[in-house]
């Protein structure tokens, strides 16, 4: 088993394209890659939330504000930038919004992904592509065991189903245009997909997500209504899956054909906890939170249990979570407290402390 490693030597100077850089995960990834010395180009719609983590970071990277469904614009930026590594994160990423806007959700998450793959196919410099989907891509059977990478794709709501479609599209592009058995002969691009669970961390202000809903109400001093309190999810700090995406991308770039597959990144199964437990964790770090548990009558369907089996990433990538769920929540609540009470941004120091814990000899970023 190889040791988990995210090295500055590798990332320094690499040309990296991120779709969705104005979003929650994308903005953290852009900062992390910039700190590792990569040459980053982001491509996204404008930031939606106020405040916006992307705006607060004020990063000095190339930022293209455009739609992934605009294939001409996308391909033009690919031609200009000539990326080596592509992280595709842009998506309509919310379950509830997908019920309201199914066409928007499928057109972005499926056709948008198709346009990103086409831009990659037409740009010779691209060596590694990581498509970020979701743990919700699996056909949910309300199993108590974690889903494995080879389990069936499915998706009850439009968002989950669109992510399953994105997975099927990934497999088709890999088979049709980037087959691993022809790598180094007919092409030099490897394509993988990554499925992670519910992520937490500072700087998320999306609508209808548990932590942002709680933090907004704490900031306003109002009561927050907690829906689906018994739903169990594999919560993890967002730096955990981001470290997985970085590892996969690096291994693909190095030509490890056997790793051009689907990957789960999640906490150990004992750390999949209920929404109600999450609220209690948060309250233990910031007692200002005032909440009421809602009844789920009349709410749109959401799976009640969802766990991931991540043994493949442990064995084949040497990846494993660095922070357990308690540390993840502590870091997250501290991020928002510092922001709301003192105007501080802890993003960079969270990345530094995370990196020190995976490999102490890296030292500071
Ligand atoms: N946050 C989570 O808990 C979670 C869990 C599993 C999977 N994911 C996946 O991770 C990825 C990132 O999620 P996030 O939480 O950062 O979401 P987010 O909503 O914060 O960010 C989405 C990003 O996509 C961009 N985008 C949306 N539609 C676009 C379009 N048509 N063209 C160009 N850009 C567009 C937005 O501008 C934004 O930058 C998504 O693919 C999401 O499905 C997120």
φ and ψ at 190, to 5 degrees? -115, 140
* Residues in the chain, overall count: 365
Q: How far is the CA of 93 from the centre of ligand 1 (A)?
A: 5
The closest-lying atom of ligand 1 relative to the alpha carbon of residue 49 is 20
The closest-lying atom of ligand 1 relative to the alpha carbon of residue 66 is 33
The closest-lying atom of ligand 1 relative to the alpha carbon of residue 54 is 39
**Read out DSSP for 259-313?**
G-SEEEE---GGG-EEHHHHHHHHHHH-TT--EEEPP-TTPPP--SB--B--HHI
Q: How far is the CA of 328 from the centre of ligand 1 (A)?
A: 20
Q: Is the distance from CB of 75 to CB of 122 less than 8 angstroms?
A: yes
Structure tokens at 124: 């010779």
Q: How far is the CA of 363 from the centre of ligand 1 (A)?
A: 31
Q: How far is the CA of 52 from the centre of ligand 1 (A)?
A: 13
Count H helices and E strands in the chain, helices first: 14, 13
- Ligand 1 site: residues with CB under 6 angstroms? 20, 22-26, 44-45, 67-69, 89-93, 108, 112, 132, 134, 196, 198-199, 206
* Pocket probe mutation, ligand 1, options 17, 19, 20, max atoms within 8 Å of Cβ: 20
Buried/exposed code over 137-171 (b: 16+ C-beta within 10 A; e: otherwise): bbebeeeeebbebebebebebbbbbbbbbbbebbe
Taking only the tens of pLDDT, the chain with its 365 residues reads 445 557 788 999 999 999 999 999 999 999 999 999 999 999 999 999 999 999 999 999 999 999 999 999 999 999 999 999 999 999 999 999 999 999 999 999 999 999 999 999 999 999 999 999 999 999 988 777 889 999 999 999 999 999 999 999 999 999 999 999 999 999 999 999 999 988 999 999 998 889 999 999 988 888 888 888 888 887 899 999 999 999 999 999 999 999 999 999 998 766 778 888 898 888 899 988 888 888 755 566 665 567 889 999 999 998 989 999 899 999 999 999 999 999 999 999 999 999 988 854 433 33
Q: Is the distance from CB of 191 to CB of 248 less than 8 angstroms?
A: no
Domains recognised in the chain with CATH numbers: 8-362 (3.40.50.720)
pTM, to two decimals? 0.95
H or E segment to which residue 55 belongs = helix 53-57
What is the spatial distance between Cα 1 and Cα 119, in angstroms, rounded to a whole number? 34
Please state whether beta strands 199-200 and 85-88 pair in parallel, antiparallel, or not at all (unpaired): unpaired
Q: How far is the CA of 199 from the centre of ligand 1 (A)?
A: 12
């Amino acid at each position: 088993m190889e040791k988990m490693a995210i090295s500055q030597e590798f990332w320094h100077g690499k040309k990296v394209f991120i779709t969705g850089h104005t979003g929650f995960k994308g903005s953290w990834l852009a900062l992390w890659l910039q700190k590792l010395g990569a040459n980053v180009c982001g491509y996204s719609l404008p930031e939606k939330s106020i405040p916006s983590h992307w705006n607060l970071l004020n990063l000095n990277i190339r930022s293209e504000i455009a739609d992934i469904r605009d294939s001409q614009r996308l391909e033009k930026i690919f031609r200009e930038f000539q990326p080596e590594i592509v992280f595709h994160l842009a998506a309509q990423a919310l379950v509830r919004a997908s019920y309201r806007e199914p066409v928007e959700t499928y057109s972005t998450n499926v056709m948008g992904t198709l346009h990103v793959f086409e831009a990659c196919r037409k740009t010779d410099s691209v060596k590694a592509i990581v498509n970020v989907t979701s743990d919700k891509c699996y056909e949910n059977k309300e199993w108590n065991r974690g889903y494995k990478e080879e389990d069936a794709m499915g998706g009850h709501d439009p968002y989950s189903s669109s992510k399953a479609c994105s997975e099927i599209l990934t497999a088709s592009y890999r088979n049709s245009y980037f087959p691993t058995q022809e790598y180094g002969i007919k092409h030099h691009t490897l394509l993988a997909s990554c499925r992670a669970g519910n992520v937490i961390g500072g700087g998320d202000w999306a609508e209808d997500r548990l932590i942002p809903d709680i933090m907004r109400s704490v900031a306003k001093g109002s009561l927050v209504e907690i829906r689906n309190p018994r739903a169990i999810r594999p919560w993890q700090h967002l730096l955990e899956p981001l470290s997985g995406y970085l590892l996969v991308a690096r291994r693909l770039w190095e030509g490890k054909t056997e790793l051009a597959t689907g990957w789960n990144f999640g906490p150990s199964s004992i750390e999949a906890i209920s929404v109600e437990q999450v609220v209690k964790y948060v309250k233990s770090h910031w007692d200002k939170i005032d909440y009421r548990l809602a009844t789920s009558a009349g709410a749109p369907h959401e799976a009640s249990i969802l766990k991931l089996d991540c043994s493949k990433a442990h064995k084949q990538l040497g990846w494993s979570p660095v922070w357990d769920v308690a540390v993840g929540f502590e870091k997250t609540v501290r991020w928002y407290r510092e922001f709301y009470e003192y105007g501080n941004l802890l993003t960079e120091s969270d990345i530094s402390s995370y990196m020190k814990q995976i490999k102490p000899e890296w030292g500071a970023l």
